[in-house]
């Protein structure tokens, strides 16, 4: 199978169902951002040797492929033939966050991303996840909402935030608190 087909050389592509659309179409923004997120999740997974987290992230990557296929599907009669996920997959994210939170100190401030490459990778993945969520919500202004997809992506962003904090705990990296200053205080660098 050849990777290149040359059918997209003029800026269009086919949705799952055959309709050709511009590569700037809202569906492509949605599932393209999910694909970008999936790549960053792979980067986070590769940055740790923690077996349980690697397993969770691999599961997330599989779910993101499922979500991408549904976002690319334009014909309702095709949708039942696609793989799917359930609310149980959202529950898995919540249970994982609860497990990680048991080791973490309560947050007293907003925290700045950073402190270690693995933590920073989690935060980049989190922000890509939030962008994907915005694209999906915008897409669903025009087509029927799949609330399970929206809920999963929302919960995944939360999971990635908690995961960043958990990696900080495991790596013994102090969180960087966001400190606000009044207008009359001088900044020091």
The pLDDT assigned to 22 comes to 58
What average pLDDT score do residues 149-175 get?
Answer: 97
Provide the 10 A C-beta neighbour count for residue 20.
12
The pLDDT assigned to 55 comes to 98
What average pLDDT score do residues 78-100 get?
Answer: 92
Q: With beta carbons less than 8 A apart as the criterion, state whether 137 and 150 touch.
A: yes
Res. 4: pLDDT tops 80:
no
Q: What is the pTM of this model?
A: 0.87
Mean pLDDT score across all residues of the chain: 88
Instruction: State pLDDT tens for residues 90-147.
Output: 999 999 999 999 999 998 889 999 999 999 999 999 999 999 999 999 988 766 677 8
Concatenated DSSP letters for 3-57?
A: S--STTTTSEEE-BTS-EEETTSHHHHHHHHHHHHHHHHHHHHHT---HHHHHHH
Instruction: Look at the chain and count its residues.
Output: 189
d(CA 113, CA 98): 21
We find that the CATH architecture of domain 13-177 is Up-down Bundle (1.20)
């Amino acid at each position: 199978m050849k990777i290149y087909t040359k059918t997209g050389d003029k800026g269009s592509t086919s949705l799952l169902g055959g309709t050709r659309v511009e590569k700037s179409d809202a569906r492509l923004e949605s599932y393209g951002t999910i694909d970008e997120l999936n790549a960053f999740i792979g980067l986070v997974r590769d940055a740790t040797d923690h077996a349980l987290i690697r397993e969770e992230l691999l599961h997330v990557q599989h779910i993101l492929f499922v979500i991408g296929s549904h976002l690319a599907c334009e014909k309702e009669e095709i949708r039942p033939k696609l793989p799917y996920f359930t609310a149980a997959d959202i529950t898995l994210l919540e249970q994982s966050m609860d497990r990680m939170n048991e080791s973490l100190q309560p947050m007293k401030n907003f925290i700045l991303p950073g402190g270690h490459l693995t933590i920073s990778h989690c935060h980049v993945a989190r922000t890509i996840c939030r962008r994907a969520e915005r694209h999906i919500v915008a897409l669903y202004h025009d087509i029927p909402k799949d609330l399970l997809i929206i809920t999963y992506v929302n919960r995944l962003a939360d999971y990635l935030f908690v995961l960043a904090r958990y990696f900080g705990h495991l790596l013994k990296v102090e969180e960087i608190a966001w400190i606000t200053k009044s207008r009359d205080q001088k900044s020091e660098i």
